[in-house]
Amino acid sequence: MSKDTDTVAVWHVPLQDKVHKIEFEHGTTTGRRLIKVDGKEMIRRDWMFKLVGKEHFMLHDAIRCTITVEAIGTFAYEYSLEVGGKTYEKFREEQSKKLQTWHCQIGESDCRICLDKQTMDVWANGKPVETTGEFGDEGTETHFQINGVACKVVSVNSGKRSTGVVHELYVGRNHIKSDPIPTSQPK
């Protein structure tokens, strides 16, 4: 970071492949704007005379994002993020209903496993995994392998209308607890 600007907002955007970190720097004296996604510079604008406005960029080459800078007083600004045409908060809410993630150790490697509950697609460390579905008396099992280790997601009805279907991951015979969707607020 330069002396002229600071990171004024950081957002964590959960997708199937990973949780993407979006950082926004805004120089309130120069108008400089810098957007980084996962540490990679996406947009840099130096010496902008208009301190407010919108910056558009693509996340994951498929999702249009917009950062809006609004004045909320003399030399005070508010920063907001839109992801796929939805507010950041609405997008995260939808993702938390749609995705379930787990972090575990498989062999010597850390692994992030993500289930898309709508499609039942499974992702491991950012890549889709080939799966096989099996119906049983209790519910369904989605079988797959990671590094030669048998894994499965067991999906059963919780018996509670408010909860719905519960998804549990097993790596070998070990039950893995799921991770909450990480939260972050703009600075």
Q: Which residue has the tokens 């080939």?
A: 130
Which CATH class, in words, describes the domain spanning 99-179? mainly beta
The span from the CA of 58 to the CA of 83, in Å, is 9
Per-residue pLDDT at 183 exceeds 50 = no
Lowest mean pLDDT among 1-5, 10-14, 61-65: 1-5
More confident: 50 or 45: 45
pLDDT number for residue 3:
46
Give the model confidence (pLDDT) of 93-104 as tens digits.
999 889 999 999
More confident: 52 or 58: 58
Averaged over 39-51, what is the pLDDT? 86
pLDDT number for residue 163:
74
The span from the CA of 49 to the CA of 28, in Å, is 10
Q: Are strands 86-87 and 76-83 parallel, antiparallel or unpaired?
A: antiparallel
Give the model confidence (pLDDT) of 78-124 as tens digits.
999 999 999 999 999 999 889 999 999 998 889 999 999 999 999 99
More confident: 27 or 84: 84
User: What is the residue-averaged pLDDT of the chain?
Assistant: 88
Q: In the CATH scheme, what is the code of domain 6-84?
A: 2.40.128.180
The span from the CA of 131 to the CA of 115, in Å, is 11
- Domain locations in the chain as residue ranges: 6-84, 99-179
pLDDT number for residue 1:
40
The first and second tokens of residue 146, run together, are 């990671």
Q: What count of Cα atoms within 13 Å lies in the side-chain half-sphere of residue 19?
A: 19
Give the model confidence (pLDDT) of 14-25 as tens digits.
999 999 999 999
The span from the CA of 147 to the CA of 3, in Å, is 46
Residue among 162, 165, 160, 75 at smallest CA distance from 115: 165
Q: Do domains 6-84 and 99-179 have the same CATH topology?
A: yes
Q: Is the dihedral of CA 126, 128, 129, 133 positive or negative?
A: positive
More confident: 160 or 38: 38
Q: Are 79 and 93 in contact (CB under 8 A)?
A: no
The span from the CA of 67 to the CA of 82, in Å, is 6
